Every structure is written in structure tokens, then in C-alpha cells.
């Protein structure tokens, strides 16, 4: 049975540093929420507060209907009383114990019989494709295999909530992709409410039901991966998400639904805004032409970077630089004249001063 997690006005300080700043979140039952942000943004501290590994200074945390932390009521349940499963970056496997003992260590405290534990171990190892490894020791397995065992241990415990703190960061790039597939599949099978901490936007975008982007202890945007990517709430989120990075073009509203950037104008919904703006456009949302066309802007190809499946083109016009991503190997040559066509429906407009998305 999945569980809803409710966080109300949570604050955690370390001396003068506010690691989590008045955060309120509702994580619906069965969802996969990723806490995403750069180092020092507070995502791991927030996870540790939920787990009971850190005591916040203020606020409340509910796991289901159970109040597990309240600064006002003086409640702070121990991690073992919160019915959570945790997987960390360093796997935290006991080196002197076999896989079987690593998994059943927590199950013994649940007073399960030997037959019940055997069944749980078998089912959990099968789900992570590690059945048959019961008698191995951690030192006899690769990093990826150890991570799967850590996941199996959590699955065997059958907690109401899964908490994962950058569990894939120690793995190589190819294995990380394989494990993302496995984690998403495990969430689909288990239906458990999952909170996942990472600084890797690819992990967040590919696995999550919702993403909470954090900066300096504050949630900047809580939304679906699609909306976080295509409609970032502010310039920080826009700039943090995407590879290649989003183009952020400084401009000024020059007319109804038009912003002047350098010596050219872009058609974009301005919602009656005025003054200095920033136009954001993803590199893959710009069309590259080799001949002039209506509403296309002339640029020069400054650099062309083929990468097999796609190519990145850096184009310049005066002081304006735009990055474009096209599929396949581009035939564009450096210093060649090209024309860029901007789709008004793919542009986002941000207020230069506040950094917030301009909406109707």
C-alpha cells in the first residue's frame, strides 16, 4: 500500500546556514519524486529529515496519517519507527556478511520465520535480477551488483516509502543507464512512494513522476518532468535543466508580442509585459536553414560539433550567440552563413529583474 508524505514549513539550520528553508511539499501515494539541484541546495538534508537521520528546527512531517516529526509538539520518531527503506550512494552493505545475511539482517528484527525470510530474499533478488547470489560476499561483486543488492535489501523489507540518496553516482555512465531502467521498472512493479535525490538532470527527467528543483534550501519548482523542461518557473530552473543548455537571450519588449534581441526581433507572447526580458529557447527547438526564408534570422556558424546521433551548432550574429541541436551529422561548415528560425510556441519569456516566467 502506497503512502502519502506531507511536509509542512520544514526548516533545517546548521549554525548560520539554512539548509532547508520553509519547505512545504505533498508527495502523493505511489509517485516517484526526485529532489534535484546542485550541490549544497538542501536536497540530501531534506531527505535525511524525512528519514529521521536529521532533526529539523521547525515544521512537521507526516508519513501517511502518522505525524513523525513536529517541532511544536516535540515529536521526532526514530528512523526505525517510520517504515522507510533507504538506499545510499555507498551501498552500506556489511562486508563480512553474505548477500543473504545482508538482506535478512533487518528482516530478523521483524520476527519473520526462516521460510518467510527465504521467500522475501528470493523474490527481492529476482526483481533486481540477482537471484543465485545469496552466498556471495560484497567484495566478490561489482559496484553495479552491490547496488542491486542494496535495492534488494530495501525491497525485501517492504517499506511503505523508498528513499534513495544519489544511489547511482558511483557507477559508470553505461551502468547508470542500465540501473535507471531497473529503478523505473522496480517503481512500476512495487508502486511504492519514492523520494530520490540526485544532481543528475537525466536521472530526474527519465525516472520521475514529479521533480522538485531546489536552490539554497528553497523549492524553485515542483512539477512534472515535461513541464520542468518545457516551462521552467524561473531562469535558474531553465538554466539548470537541459544539455546542451538552454539559450537565454537578453532583450527588450519592442511591440505587441515582440522582443528585440540584438539587432533582430523575435515573435513571442509578451502578455502585456514591458521592459527588459530574457527569451529562453531550447537548442533542439530552433530550425537551421542554409537558404534565407521568411522570418528566419541570418547567423554565422561559429562552431559545429558532431556527436554521432546529433550535432551541436554554435551560431553567432553580432554579440548574440545561439546554440542549436540537430539530429544526425550536420553538413554545415564553420563560418558558413545559416538562417535560424524560431518557433514562437517554443519560446519562454522571463522578466529580467525577477527571473520569473512571464505568464498570462
Residue spans of the chain under pLDDT 70: 1, 91, 360
Pairwise CA distance, residues 345 & 350, whole Å: 15
Separation of alpha carbons 78 and 19, rounded Å: 21
DSSP letter at 246?
A: P
Spatial separation of the C-alpha atoms in residues 26 and 251, rounded to whole Å: 37
Over residues 38-94, the pLDDT tens digits come to 999 999 999 999 999 999 999 999 999 999 999 999 999 999 899 898 888 776 788
pLDDT above 70: percentage of residues in the chain: 99
Domain boundaries, the chain: 5-240, 247-351
| Confidence at residue 360, expressed as pLDDT on a 0 to 100 scale | 66
pLDDT for 198:
95
Could you give phi then psi for residue 175, rounded to 5 degrees? Answer: -70, -35
Task: Measure the CA–CA gap between 175 and 203, rounded to whole angstroms.
Answer: 13
Q: Residues 152, 162: contact at Cβ < 8 Å?
A: no
Query: The domain 247-351 is classified under which CATH number: 2.40.50.140, 1.25.40.10, 1.10.1060.10, 3.20.20.120?
Result: 2.40.50.140
Tell me what pLDDT residue 1 has. 56
Q: What are the start-end ranges of the E strands in 137-209?
A: 161-165, 193-198
pLDDT of residue 88: 81
Length of the chain measured in residues: 360
Report angle CA 204, 207, 210 to the nearest 5 degrees: 65
pLDDT at 350: 98
pLDDT at 222: 98
Cell reading at 220: 524553485
Report the pLDDT value the prediction gives residue 153, as an integer from 0 to 100.
87
5-240 falls under which CATH superfamily?
Answer: P-loop containing nucleotide triphosphate hydrolases (3.40.50.300)
Distance CA 55, CA 47 (A): 11
What's the pLDDT score for residue 193? 95
Amino acid at each position: 500500500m502506497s503512502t502519502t508524505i506531507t511536509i509542512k514549513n520544514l526548516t533545517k539550520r546548521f549554525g548560520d546556514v539554512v539548509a532547508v528553508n520553509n519547505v512545504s511539499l505533498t508527495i502523493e501515494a505511489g509517485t516517484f519524486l526526485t529532489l534535484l539541484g546542485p550541490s549544497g541546495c538542501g536536497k540530501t538534508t531534506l531527505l535525511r529529515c524525512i528519514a529521521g537521520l536529521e532533526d529539523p528546527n521547525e515544521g512537521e512531517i507526516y508519513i501517511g496519517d502518522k505525524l513523525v516529526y513536529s517541532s511544536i509538539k516535540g515529536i521526532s520518531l526514530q528512523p526505525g519507527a517510520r517504515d522507510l527503506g533507504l538506499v545510499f550512494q555507498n551501498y552500506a552493505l556489511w562486508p563480512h556478511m553474505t548477500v543473504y545475511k545482508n538482506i535478512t539482517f533487518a528482516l530478523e528484527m521483524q520476527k519473520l520465520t526462516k521460510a518467510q525470510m527465504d521467500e522475501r530474499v528470493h523474490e527481492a533478488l529476482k526483481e533486481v535480477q540477482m537471484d543465485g547470489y545469496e552466498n556471495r560476499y560484497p567484495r566478490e561483486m561489482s559496484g553495479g551488483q552491490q547496488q542491486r543488492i542494496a535495492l534488494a535489501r530495501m525491497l525485501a523489507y517492504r517499506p511503505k516509502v523508498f528513499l534513495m540518496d544519489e544511489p547511482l553516482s558511483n557507477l559508470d555512465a553505461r551502468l547508470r543507464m542500465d540501473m535507471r531502467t531497473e529503478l523505473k521498472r522496480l517503481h512500476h512493479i512495487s508502486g511504492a512512494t519514492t523520494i530520490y535525490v540526485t544532481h543528475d538532470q537525466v536521472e530526474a527527467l527519465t525516472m520521475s513522476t514529479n521533480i522538485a528543483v531546489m536552490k539554497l534550501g528553497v523549492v524553485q519548482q515542483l512539477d512534472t518532468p515535461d513541464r520542468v523542461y518545457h516551462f521552467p518557473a524561473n531562469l535558474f530552473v531553465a538554466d539548470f535543466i537541459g544539455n546542451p543548455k538552454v539559450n537565454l537571450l537578453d532583450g527588450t519588449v519592442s511591440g505587441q508580442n515582440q522582443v528585440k534581441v540584438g539587432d533582430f526581433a523575435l515573435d513571442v507572447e509578451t502578455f502585456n509585459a514591458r521592459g527588459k526580458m530574457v527569451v529562453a529557447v531550447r537548442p533542439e527547438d530552433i530550425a537551421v536553414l542554409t537558404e534565407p526564408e521568411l522570418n528566419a534570422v541570418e547567423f554565422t556558424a561559429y562552431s559545429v560539433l558532431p556527436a554521432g546521433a546529433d550535432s551541436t551548432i554554435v551560431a553567432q550574429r553580432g554579440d548574440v550567440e545561439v546554440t542549436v541541436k540537430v539530429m544526425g551529422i550536420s553538413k554545415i561548415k564553420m563560418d558558413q552563413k545559416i538562417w535560424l528560425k524560431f518557433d514562437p510556441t517554443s519560446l519562454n519569456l522571463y522578466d529580467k529583474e525577477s527571473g520569473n516566467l512571464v505568464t498570462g
